[in-house]
Amino acid sequence: MNSRDNNLWLKFWLDQRTDFHQNNVNQLLIRFWPSFHTQPGSRVFIPLCGKSLDILWLAEQGYEVIGVELSPIAVKAFFRENHMQPSKRRMGKFTVWQQGKISILCGDYFALLPENLGVIDIVYDRAALTALPEDIRKHYVKHLRLIVPDAEQIFLLTAEDVEGTKEFSSNNEVDSEISSLYATEYNIEVAHTECVSVTDSANSELVERIEYKVYQLTSHR
């Protein structure tokens, strides 16, 4: 992201405009994670992780979890709200907050280097891709390939607005954008599709429809 996008994200956390944060573990993660057949002890990377409780859930399943998050407010809140007292150290352009099986690198995702992460077995993208502006998404995926070259699988959860009165059709078709971004490196399967109606917290008459898809990406290697 450019500095304008980074500043906007930091301001969301500073102003506590974090309606996007889920107060519970994502149910689609709990439901579909077992289908990825990832062994406990594997290293999981979560880009743009915020203060997601999914981090805690994955660590409780026995995985080593490495997140990256731009906002120090979000990182501090994650450890404080979960009653954890992490160690902190500098690593290049990042501050690493760590306790037990959980490490969060506080800094810019696009500044990550492969050596910052080490070997990653699986990526858990919990709508990070689709939270980005469309013109940034290809750069995000290109950088992901650079920093996690050994990742065999990606658990990709996408969240997209359903426009206007468009009929929702529960189909398992791969979105054309997802195909263009990932198909050269990964086999792509849609594990689940659903449409959820969400009421705006500031206006109860405003209802948004969001389409969620769970993708299982497996490396061609």
CB-based burial label for 106 (10 Å; 0-12, 13-18, 19+): buried
Q: Are 160 and 178 in contact (CB under 8 A)?
A: no
pLDDT attached to residue 43: 98
Question: How far is 105 from 62, CA to CA, in rounded Å?
Answer: 20
pLDDT attached to residue 5: 59
Residue with tokens 């998050």: 69
pLDDT attached to residue 80: 94
Which tokens sit at 11?
């301001």
pLDDT attached to residue 214: 96
Q: How confident is the chain (221 residues) per 10-residue block, as mean pLDDT? A: 54 52 85 93 96 96 96 93 96 96 96 96 94 91 96 94 62 90 96 82 67 94 77
Question: How far is 133 from 218, CA to CA, in rounded Å?
Answer: 25
Q: Are 75 and 97 in contact (CB under 8 A)?
A: yes
User: What dihedral angle (degrees, nearest 10) is formed by the CA atoms of 132, 136, 142, 147?
Assistant: -50
Question: Which among 63, 29, 22 has a CA at the least distance from the CA of 214?
Answer: 29
Q: Are 120 and 144 in contact (CB under 8 A)?
A: no
Question: How far is 138 from 178, CA to CA, in rounded Å?
Answer: 10
Instruction: Please provide the DSSP assignment of 93-119 as one string.
Output: TEEEEEETTEEEEES-GGG--HHHH--
The dihedral through the CA atoms of 37, 176, 197, 78 has a sign that is positive
Q: Which H or E element spans position 210?
A: strand 207-219
pLDDT attached to residue 160: 87
What domains does the chain contain, in order, with CATH numbers? 3-219 (3.40.50.150)
194 phi/psi in degrees, rounded to 5: -155, 155
Question: Which among 60, 65, 54 has a CA at the least distance from the CA of 27?
Answer: 54
pLDDT attached to residue 21: 46
Q: Which H or E element spans position 124?
A: strand 122-126
Nearest-10 crossing angle of helices 72-81, 3-14: 40
User: What dihedral angle (degrees, nearest 10) is formed by the CA atoms of 206, 51, 146, 172?
Assistant: -40
Q: Are 215 and 186 in contact (CB under 8 A)?
A: no
pLDDT attached to residue 207: 67
pLDDT attached to residue 191: 94
